[in-house]
Chain A
Amino acid sequence: GAGVSQSPSNKVTEKGKDVELRCDPISGHTALYWYRQSLGQGLEFLIYFQGNSAPDKSGLPSDRFSAERTGGSVSTLTIQRTQQEDSAVYLCASSLGLAGVHTQYFGPGTRLTVL
């Protein structure tokens, strides 16, 4: 079946602009995760959803970052007033459930470049 898909694959934006990154999880996966991969910070967790609910937003780097999930499926990560330090690859993953036994399957990522 289809894996996790993300769009766009690449996004170049100017400092101060808002961007939206989209994640389409594997069908039937109730848990959805966002991570960020950058040269300086490695792979870091941002936020997770169980259904449409995000119980823990503490991983978001600043209040410029927000995420939502609708219909228990597609998720959008929004970065407002982008800064150059936001440049990174944003990875989405989904799994059957929250329990740690469930494997997280990753999408190809969105490479964000802030000029």
Chain B
Amino acid sequence: AQSVAQPEDQVNVAEGNPLTVKCTYSVSGNPYLFWYVQYPNRGLQFLLKYITGDNLVKGSYGFEAEFNKSQTSFHLKKPSALVSDSALYFCAVSPNNNAGNMLTFGGGTRLMVKP
């Protein structure tokens, strides 16, 4: 069975500072890893994904994530946070197979960026 852990329920950061939202996973084989963001009363919006290749993945709105196989982590980062980045962030994993590839999500991390 696959699982995702987001150890922080909330991350607080000042505008202009770098941010990190942590994610660790457990899955058999080589995983597909995703980050989604959810704004209030909205669905999930895709940010970025790791499939294969470079461990550093760049995505929308200046976000990036680093795949670390030895630590089974896929932390989301941004060099300079904006107030508008405040939202709920979900890490997700999909198994590398053809049996549906449904996403397993972490519990979510609320990012609060203060001016």
- Residues of A at the B interface (CB closer than 8 Å) are 4, 6, 33, 35, 42-45, 48, 50, 55-56, 59, 91, 93, 98-109
Partner of B100, one of A55, A101, A107: A55
Say whether A42 contacts B105, CB under 8 Å. Answer: yes
> Closest A-chain residue to B108, C-beta based?
A42
Count of A-B residue pairs with CB < 8 Å = 59
Partner of B94, one of A42, A100, A108: A100
Majority secondary structure of chain B interface residues (helix, strand, loop or mixed): loop
**Given contacts A43-B105, A100-B94, are A91 and B100 in contact (CB under 8 A)?**
no
CA of A101 to CA of B51, assembled, Å: 6
Number of interface residues of B (CB under 8 A): 26
Say whether B34 contacts A56, CB under 8 Å. Answer: no
CA of A45 to CA of B3, assembled, Å: 13
> Closest B-chain residue to A91, C-beta based?
B43
- Residues of B at the A interface (CB closer than 8 Å) are 32, 34, 36, 42-46, 49, 51, 90, 94-108
**Given contacts A100-B32, A100-B97, A104-B103, are A91 and B44 in contact (CB under 8 A)?**
yes
Partner of A59, one of B44, B46, B102: B102
Which residues of chain B come closer than 8 Å to A33, judged between CB atoms?
102-103
Partner of B36, one of A98, A101, A102, A106: A106
> Closest B-chain residue to A10, C-beta based?
B41
Say whether A108 contacts B42, CB under 8 Å. Answer: yes
CA of A45 to CA of B104, assembled, Å: 7
Say whether B107 contacts A42, CB under 8 Å. Answer: yes
